[in-house]
Copies of this chain bind each other. A is one copy, B any other.
Amino acid sequence: MKNRVLTISREFGSGGRTVGKLTAQKLNIPCYDGHLIDQLVAESNFTEEYVKEYGEYFSQGIINTFLGRTSGLTKQDELWVLQRKIILDLAQQGPCVIVGHCADYILRDAADCLTVFIHADLEKRAERIVRVYGEREIVPKERLMLKDRRRAAYCKFYTDMDWGKLRNYQVALDSGILGIDKCVEILTHLF
């Protein structure tokens, strides 16, 4: 029997990771996000920085030279293959929450997924990332849009799915208006 898995895709700064973590706590099941990164680092020669940066995002350079991509597995492709294997293994172990990493696509036939997308408007996300992650050299909104574009490109390249397209998710919630707690309540109820 397939395990029930809550997969959370999210816009950067929407609090989707927090929603996943709190929902998992309420359901008393594991939430894989940081753990996934640790395991990727442990099972590979990739550094933590590399995994965090290229496990969900296409690099800007790659977007720009998309059409010029040469054949053969890149370092990022190898990370994708390993990430895919780890996610499939985790879903075998029992019900869980997985944040990001295209888990909805990877598990589409391997688990009984509740596929979720968490979003919020730019203003609210910009305010949140400054509050949670602190100020950076790049203005918050530009940083958000760049992160989103790179996630969408990553998803498109490895899964051919349109990231953030409503029909790809069973539930899409605006955390900026509904708030994190309401999102957690709904997902706990639906799971």
* A189 adjacent to B190 (CB under 8 Å): no
* A171 adjacent to B174 (CB under 8 Å): yes
The verdict on A1 contacting chain B, using a C-beta distance below 8 Å, is no
Minimum CB–CB distance for A161 against chain B, Å: 13
- Fill in one digit per residue for A61-86: 1 if any B CB lies within 8 Å of its CB, else 0: 00000000000000000000000000
Interface residues of A in 168-183 (CB under 8 A from B): 169-174, 177-178, 182
Q: Most B CB atoms within 10 A — which of A119, A166, A169, A190?
A: A166
Closest to A11 in B: B167
List, in ascending order, chain B residues with CB within 8 A of A58's CB. Answer: none
State A177–B190 Cα separation when bound (angstroms): 11
* B189 adjacent to A185 (CB under 8 Å): yes
* B178 adjacent to A170 (CB under 8 Å): yes
* A169 adjacent to B178 (CB under 8 Å): no
Q: Give which listed residue, B171, B177, B182, B189, contacts A172 with CB less than 8 A.
A: B171
Minimum CB–CB distance for A162 against chain B, Å: 10
* B172 adjacent to A166 (CB under 8 Å): yes
List, in ascending order, chain B residues with CB within 8 A of A164's CB. Answer: 166-167
List, in ascending order, chain B residues with CB within 8 A of A178's CB. Answer: 170-171, 190
State A166–B166 Cα separation when bound (angstroms): 5
* A117 adjacent to B189 (CB under 8 Å): no
* A170 adjacent to B170 (CB under 8 Å): no
Minimum CB–CB distance for A66 against chain B, Å: 24
List, in ascending order, chain B residues with CB within 8 A of A131's CB. Answer: none
The verdict on A136 contacting chain B, using a C-beta distance below 8 Å, is no
Q: Most B CB atoms within 10 A — which of A117, A169, A171?
A: A171
23 contacts between A and B (CB under 8 A): A119-B166, A121-B167, A164-B166, A165-B166, A166-B166, A166-B169, A169-B172, A169-B174, A170-B173, A170-B174, A170-B177, A170-B178, A171-B171, A171-B173, A171-B174, A172-B172, A172-B173, A178-B190, A182-B190, A185-B189, A186-B186, A186-B190, A189-B189
